[in-house]
Structure 1
Amino acid sequence: MTIPNQHRRSTSALLFLPICFLLLTGMVAAAPDGVFGHESLDELLSAVEAQAQQDPQKALATLESALAELELDEQPEAAVKLLNRRAELLRDQGETEQALLALELAEDLAVQLDDPVPAVQVQQMRGTIYLDRADFDRALEINMAVLNQAQALAHAELEAAARNAIGNIYFSLEQPERARRFYRAAAEIYEELDSRERLGSLLGNIGNTYNSEGRYQEALPYQRQSLRIARQEGREIGAAYQLINLCNTLWLLERMEDARGYCREGIPLLEDAGHYRALHFALNLMGDLRVAEGDPEAALSYLLRALEIAREMDSPRLREASHGDLSSLYETLGDYQAALEHARAQFEAHHEVMDSERQQRIVELEQSYEAELRRQEITAREAEISRLELESELKEASLRERQTLMLVAFSLFVATAIVALLLWRGYMLRRRSSRRIEEKNRELNEALKTISRLARQDPLTGLANRRRLMEVLKSELSRRHRTGAPLTLALGDIDYFKQLNDQYGHQVGDQILMGLAKRMRSCLRESDLLCRWGGEEFLILMPETDAEEARLAMEKVCAAVAAKPFETDAGPVEVTITFGVASVRGDDFKSAVRVADRAMYAGKHQGRNRVMVRIEGGDAE
C-alpha cells in the first residue's frame, strides 16, 4: 500500500514518502516437517509474520536464529525464503543496505534451484527496495522484467505483486491514472485468488490515486473498505497505514477533527511496529493539521520528532522534507533565525541528495555507454557477415535468372520461383543474423554481471575481497552511529602456511585456503562478513559484537579449523590459525586493523592456534 501525497506539499517531498508493499509470505511453499522446531517452513514464517505485527526486531531475531541453524547449501530453497522475508523486514525499517546484502545471498542460493520462481521472487523484492530508495528507473526495469517472467511462468501471485509494485512506481512519479490501471489489474487477480488481505491493500492504493487528482470524496470509500478488511484480517500494520491515509484525505477535505482522530490512532501503531518512514510522514501530517487549526506551537513537537527520525535513519531525503517544514513553521512563529537555520539545512540535504543521485546516474550512463559500444561492434560485425552472405546469394540468383531468360514460358515460371526462393532465403538469413545478435547481447549482459560480481569477490575462495569489505564497512559505521552498537573485527593468519606451501606445493596451499574459507564461514553468523585480506590472512567484520563476544566466536572458529585435517591432493593436512581481535573505535578502521595485527602476532609468539585480544596495557588471550 502507499502513503499518499499531500495537497499542499512539494513534489520533491512526495517522491520520498515511504511505500508499503504487499507481503510475499503467501508465495512460500511448505518445507520438510520438523524444520527449526516447527512442523513446516510455512509455520515458521507464520510465526514470524505474527511477531512482525507487534515487534519487528523480535521477528528479525527469529529469522536470524533459524538461518543460523540452517545448512544453507543443503537447504537452499528454505534459505531463500527466509532471507527474502528478512530483507522485507529490514526494508520496512529503512535498513535498505542490509536488505540488499540479504538478497545477494538469497540470489546466489536461488540459482542452485531447479524451480525459477524463488529467483524471480528475490528480484521482485529487490525492485521494492530500489523504489523505497527512489531509484525509479532501476525499480521499474526490475519489476517489468518480473512481470514478464511471472506471465511466462503463469504465476498469478507474482504477476499481481509486480503489477502492484509498478503501480507504486507510477504513483511516486505523480502519474496516478497510469498507477490506477496497474492497481486495478492486480486487484482483479487477487479477487480471483480470493486473497482479501492483498485486495484490501490494493483498495487503499486505488484510493490514494484519486487523492492525487484532487478527487478526495472518491478516495474515501476505497480507504475505508481497505481499513475494514485490514482489521477483519487482524493486520495491525495494514490498518495503521490506512488510518494515516484517511487522516490525510479528511485533512484535504478540511475535516480537521476527524482527521486528527485517525492520525492519533495510527501513529502509535506505526511507532510500535518500527515503520519509521511512514511514521515520519504521519508526524509531518499531524504537524500540518495543528498549523491548519491555528496552533503552530503544538505542531512544533510533531515536526521535531519527524526530524529526529530522519536523522536516525540517516536519510537526506527525509531530512530535506523535515527542515523545509520546520523552516516554514518557525517563520510563522516569528523565529526568523531558526527559520533561516532550517532553510540552510534543507538546502544542504537537498544538495546531498542531488549530488548522490548525479554520481549514481553518471556511473549508470558510463556503464550503459560502454555496453552500447560493445553491442554496436557486435551488430556491425554480424551485419557485415549477413551482407556478404546475402550478396553471394543474390549473385547466384542473378546468374540463374539470366540462364532462365533463354528458356520458353515454362523457364520464365521457373525463374520467378527461383527469385522468390532466394528472397525467402535472404529473409531467413536476416532472421538468423538477428538471433545471433540477440544471443551476443545476452552473453555481453551476463559478462557484465560476472565482472561486477568478481570485482567484489576473491577468485580463489569465493569470499568477499577488500573492495566489498569497504562497501559493507561504510554501511556498518553509519548504522553504528545511529544505534551505538559495538563493531569488532578479527584478523587471522594461517600458522606455518609458508612451510605448508614449501612442503606440499602451491596447489595444495590453494586447496587448504578454499577448505579453510568454507569451514570458517560455517561457524559465523549471516551478518558477519568474512573477507580474504591477502595471502593467508583473513579479516572478519562482526557488527553488534563487543571484544569479548568476538573472542568467543573466534575460539569457536579456531577449534573448528583444528578439529580435523583438510583433505588435499597430498593427503590429510592439519592446519591451525591464530587470530587477533580489536574493537573499531569511532570511524578509525585502520587503527583497529593495526591493533588486531599486533594482537595476532603476539599470539604467534605465544605458541599459535589461539585468539588474542588487544587491551590497554598489553595483550589478553
Structure 2
Amino acid sequence: MNTTRISEPLSLPEVENLLEKADGKARADLLNKLAALVVKNDKARGLEISSQALELSGNLGYRRGKAAALFGLGDAARIGEEYRAALEYYALSLDIHKVLGDPIQQGRCLRRLGDVQFYVNNLDLSLKHYLNSLSIFEKTAEKDGSPEAKINCGHLMATIGNVLRDSGDLEASLDYYHRCHSIYILEGFTAGIPGILYNTGNIFHSQGRLEEALNVYSEALKEAEESGDHYLASMALSSLGSVFMARDDLEAAEDHFMRSMNIAEKQDRKRGILSATLKLVELGRLRGNLDEALDQCERGEQLAGHLEDRRSYANILNERALIYSSMEEYEKALETSLAFHKLSEDLLSEKRIQEIDILRVRYETEAKEREIELLRRERTIQRRMMLGAVAGLVLTGVSLVLVYRNVRFRARVNRELAGAYSRVEKLSKIDTLTGLANRRAMMKSLASEQTRSSRTGRSFGLIMADIDDFKLVNDRHGHACGDEILVEVSKRLENALRSQDIASRWGGEEFLLLLPETSLHSAVKVAKKTRALIEDTPFVCNNASINLTMTFGVSEGGMIPVEDAIQLSDTALYRGKRTGKNNVNFQSINWKVIFDRLRSAIRRAHPASE
C-alpha cells in the first residue's frame, strides 16, 4: 500500500495562534484556512470569516485570497443549503482560478458545482461538472503524481457513482464505488472509506440485498460515530431504519429514524431532517397512522420546497397518493399520483438518462485515448532505445512485435468503444431490466401509429396495465425478487400479444401496450385475456409461490391526440384500482369534450366568425 499522504494541515488552535500576529496576504490566507476548518460544524462563523477574508483580499488586490474566500462562502452557502448562492460563489471562484492557472483549485470548484447540481437533482449537469473535474485531477496526477489529485480522483469516482445510482444504473454505480475504494486504499486515505461503505450499502439496499446492506450500514455507522462524523452517522441511521422497515421490524425502524432526526436537528441540517421526515411518513402509513403521516407530509413539502429538492418532493407526492388511497379518498389519490408521475418524468426523462450515459461514455473514451497516447509515447521511447543498441533483423523483429502489440491494443480499445456506443444506442430504446420497449421508444411508436391511423382511418388500441400491490412484494420478498417478477410479467404480456403489437415498460410496475389497427372492443378482449394469464399462474421466486393480479385500463387512439388517448387509458386504470383492482376498465372518447375543444380552437383562430 502506498501510504504517501498530503502534508498534515494546520490544526484549529495553530491557525488561530498564527492569525493573531499575521497581516497582509498571510492574514488573508490564514482566514481562509480558519474558515475551512470551522464551516462544517459552524456555518455562521465560517461565513463570517470568509467574508472577512474576501474584504481583506479585495483591499490588497490579492486574487488568490479572493478566490479562496469565494470558495469558502460557497461552502457556507452549500452547508446552509442555500444552493443558488453556493452556485454563484463557486462559479466566481472558478473564474479567478482559471485566470491564475491553478488546476487543483479549478477541479475543486467544478466538483462543488457538481455537488450543488446533484442536490437539486440536475443529474446531467452534475455529471458534466464531475467529469470535467475528474479530467483535471487525472491529468495533474499523471503529470506530477500529486497525492491530493489522486485522492480527489477517488472523491469524484464516488460522486459519479451517486449520479449513476440516481439515474438507475446500479451496476455502473457499484463499479465506480469500487474504483473509489481502490484509490482510497492505495493512497492510504482511510477517512474516506466509511463514506464509500455507506454508498455501497445503498446499492445493496436498492438491489434487495438487505442483510449485506445491514452489515455495511452498521460498519459505516460505527466508523462515523468513532470519528465524530455526525453527517454520516445521521445518514447511516436513516438507512438502517429503512432496512428494518423492509424487514417489518417497525419498532427498530422508528428508533433509528428518530435518532437520525435528532442528530440532523442538532446540526440544523435541513436535508437530514427532510430525509428522516420522509421515512417517518412511510412508517406512519404502514402503521395506519394516516392523519399523522399527512401532517408529516406537510412538513416534508415545506422543507423540500425550501431546499428546491424536486426528487424528495416527488417522493412526498407518491406517499400522499398512497395515504389518500388508504383513506379511500380516490379522487385526491388520482390527482396526487398524476402529479407525482409528471414530476418523476421531468426529473429523469429518457433524454436525460441518455445524456448521462453519453457523458460517461465520453469520459471512458477519453480515458482510453489517453491510454493509447501513453502507449504510443512508450513505444517511441522503446524504439529509440533499441535503435542505439540493436541493428538489422533483430531490430526489425522486435519492432514488428511492438507494432503488432500496438495494433492489437488499438483494436481492443476500438472494440470496447464500439460496444460502449452500442450500449448507449440500446439504452435509448429498451428497458434494461425487462427488455421491453422503454417509454421513449413507445412514444416514437405511438407517433408513427398516429400518422398511419390518420392516413388509413383505422384506430389503434391502448392498454395501460399496473401490477396490484406490487410494493408489498418488494417489502416481503425483496427488490431482487420484485425485479424477477417484473421480467416474468413482461414475458407474459408479450405472449398475450400479436407480433405487430408493442409492449413497453411505462414506469415502475406500470406497462403500456400498443395494438395497431385494433378497435376499443377488440383491445378490451386482449386486456381480459392478459389479466387471466397473470392471475391464473402463480409467480415463483426464492422457492415462494406468489399470486399476483393486474388492473387494466383500455382506450382507443387515432382520432384524438396521442396524449389524450394515454390519459383515457390511465383514467380507466385508476377507476379499476378504485373499484377493487384485478379488473379491466375502458374509457371511451368523450366527443362533446373534443367538439368543444375544436370549437374553441376555431374561435381563437377566427374571432370574427362569432
TM-score by length of 2: 0.49
Query: Larger radius of gyration, structure 1 or 2?
Result: 1
TM-score by length of 1: 0.48
